[in-house]
């Protein structure tokens, strides 16, 4: 098939391209930087198209002839940058909501057969009894205080209301906290590893969340080429992992000593408040955002049972994922080496 991939240089996007190409698909990869695309997609043979989700009209013509659009692009890393709340809200709305709807319209107009949109399991809540949420579980008010999760939930609602005129099938994938090779951004996962490798994390922070290898999410997306019907949503969340488990796995993968103690939740919150206050004074990025800490303390869990059943999704062991992360950064050590840790968006 001819497939169009947005966000092709991101953690998920570049792993998706690398999963599609060996299967013989003709890949058109949207990127904002040709230099980065040539570096991240080297050897894939994907045709790079320059464009920005804030201006879908600028690249919409490149969608013509595509059988499938995979939409992985989103505004999220910048959410922790030193900018006003209003600035972030506008960007989240512009890219994650308006941009997605504009892309849907363009795909529909060009007769695309399938549109696979990547949302977030953070837009899914947990059940009242504390059991993992599924594709129909609404997010909590606390989750919606996270501007990124809120933008995804708003986008999901508008996607559900979208009525394609061409018969296009629209399917959503909702990943957990993604880790894996190719995290050049880096995302919060890559930032956490880089800080751990640099010895900047004194103890294991509290909490955790559903964690998944980006390559497993990419495989689930490839499965939607032939599986799933219009309106289907699939959580691809992996398994719940505490930050202690994650950091211990990174220690094993990198050969470093495991962290000796756990940071109590009150101390983690106090440090996050201090971190954000310092960032406001200096115009920098908070090393530990308050919203990120609260997200982890919520110990959010979701079930991927539907994706396992209908898409044949499986999840690789945590140690395999962390070894791939460590090995990738070892090969590209200069990329993001000065990043500071954040928490999952």
Could you read off the pLDDT of 319-329 as tens digits, one per residue?
A: 999 999 999 99
3-state SS assignment for residue 53: coil
Q: What is the pLDDT of residue 280?
A: 82
pLDDT for 341: 39
Question: What's the pLDDT at 147?
Answer: 86
Q: What is the pLDDT of residue 307?
A: 98
How far apart are the C-alpha atoms of 88 and 78, rounded to whole Å?
A: 8
SS3 199: coil
Q: How far apart are CA 249 and CA 317, in angstroms?
A: 10
228 — alpha (psi -120 to 50), left (phi > 0) or beta?
left
Mean pLDDT of 228-239: 98
What phi-psi label fits residue 24: left (phi over 0), alpha (psi between -120 and 50 degrees) or beta? Answer: left
Q: What pairs with residue 208 in β-bridges?
A: 242
Structure tokens at 116: 């696979």
Task: Note if the bond before 202 is cis, omega within 30 degrees.
Answer: no
Residues 304, 262: Cα–Cα separation, whole Å = 29
Domains with residue ranges and CATH for the chain: 2-185+211-241+301-318 (3.40.50.720)
Write the pLDDT tens digit of every residue in 153-167: 999 999 999 999 999
Name residues whose C-beta falls within 8 Å of residue 322's C-beta, 6 or more positions apart in sequence.
179, 246, 249, 250, 252, 253
309 touches 259 (CB < 8 A): no
Provide the mean pLDDT of the chain: 91
User: What are the tens digits of pLDDT across the range 114-154?
Assistant: 999 999 999 999 999 999 999 999 999 988 888 889 999 99
Q: What does the pLDDT read at residue 345?
A: 46
Q: What gap in Å lies between CA 235 and CA 186, rounded to an integer? A: 23
Which band of pLDDT confidence, cut at 50, 70 and 90, is reported for residue 284?
confident
Given a cut of 70, whether residue 276 has pLDDT beyond it is: yes
* Residue in 344, 1, 21, 23 with CA at minimum distance from that of residue 188: 344
CB 101 within 8 A of CB 35: no
> Can you say whether the dihedral through the CA atoms of 137, 141, 144, 149 is positive or negative?
negative
Task: Return d(Cα 115, Cα 274) in angstroms, integer.
Answer: 43
Residue 174 has pLDDT above 90, yes or no: yes
Q: How far apart are CA 175 and CA 161, in angstroms?
A: 21
Check pLDDT > 60 for residue 334: no
Q: What is the pLDDT of residue 292?
A: 81
Q: Residue 338: which residues within 8 A CB-CB, separation 6 or more?
A: none
The answer to whether the beta carbons of residues 60 and 38 sit under 8 Å apart is no
Give, for 160, the enclosing helix (H) or strand (E). Answer: helix 147-161
Q: Which two tokens stand for residue 273?
A: 């408040």
Q: In the chain, what percentage of residues exceed pLDDT 70?
A: 93
Mean pLDDT value across residues 303-322: 98
pTM over 0.85? The answer is yes
**DSSP structure class, residue 10:** S
Residues 44-54: tens digit of each pLDDT: 999 999 999 99
- The 10 Å CB-count burial string (b at 16+, else e) for 212-248 is bbbbbbbbbbbbbbeebeeebbbbbbbebbbbbbbbb
What is the average pLDDT across 261-268?
A: 94
Residue 134: is it exposed, middle or buried by C-beta count within 10 angstroms (0-12/13-18/19+)?
A: middle
Provide the pLDDT for residue 287.
74
Is residue 331 packed enough to be buried (19+ CB in 10 Å), middle (13-18) or exposed (0-12)?
Answer: exposed
């Amino acid at each position: 098939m001819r497939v169009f991939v947005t966000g092709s240089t991101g953690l998920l996007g570049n792993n998706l391209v690398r999963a599609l190409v060996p299967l013989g698909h003709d890949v058109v990869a949207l990127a904002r930087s040709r230099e980065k695309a040539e570096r991240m997609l080297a050897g894939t043979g994907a045709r790079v198209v320059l464009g920005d989700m804030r201006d879908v009209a600028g690249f919409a013509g490149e969608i013509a002839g595509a059988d499938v659009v995979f939409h992985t692009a989103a505004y999220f890393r910048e959410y922790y940058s030193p900018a006003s709340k209003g600035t972030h809200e506008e960007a989240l709305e512009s890219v994650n909501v308006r941009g997605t709807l504009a892309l849907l319209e363009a795909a529909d107009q060009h007769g695309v057969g399938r549109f696979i949109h990547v949302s977030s399991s953070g837009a899914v809540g947990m059940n009242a009894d504390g059991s993992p949420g599924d594709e129909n579980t609404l997010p909590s008010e606390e989750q919606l205080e996270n501007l990124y999760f809120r933008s995804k939930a708003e986008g999901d609602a508008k996607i559900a209301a979208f009525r394609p005129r061409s018969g296009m099938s629209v399917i959503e994938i909702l990943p957990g906290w993604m880790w894996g090779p190719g995290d050049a951004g880096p995302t919060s996962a890559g930032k956490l590893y880089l800080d751990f490798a640099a010895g900047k994390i004194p103890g294991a922070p509290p909490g955790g969340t559903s964690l998944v290898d980006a390559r497993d999410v990419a495989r689930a997306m490839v499965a939607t080429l032939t599986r799933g019907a219009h309106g289907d949503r699939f959580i691809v969340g992996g398994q719940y992992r505490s930050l202690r488990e994650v950091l211990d796995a990174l220690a094993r993968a990198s050969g470093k000593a495991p962290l000796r103690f756990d940071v109590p939740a009150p101390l983690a919150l106090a440090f996050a408040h201090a971190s954000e206050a310092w960032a406001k004074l200096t115009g920098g990025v908070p090393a530990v955002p308050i919203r990120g800490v609260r997200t982890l303390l919520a110990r959010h869990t979701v079930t991927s049972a539907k994706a396992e059943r209908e898409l044949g999704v499986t999840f690789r062991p945590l140690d395999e994922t962390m070894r791939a992360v460590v090995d990738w950064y070892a090969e590209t050590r200069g990329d993001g080496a000065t990043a500071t840790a954040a928490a999952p968006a």
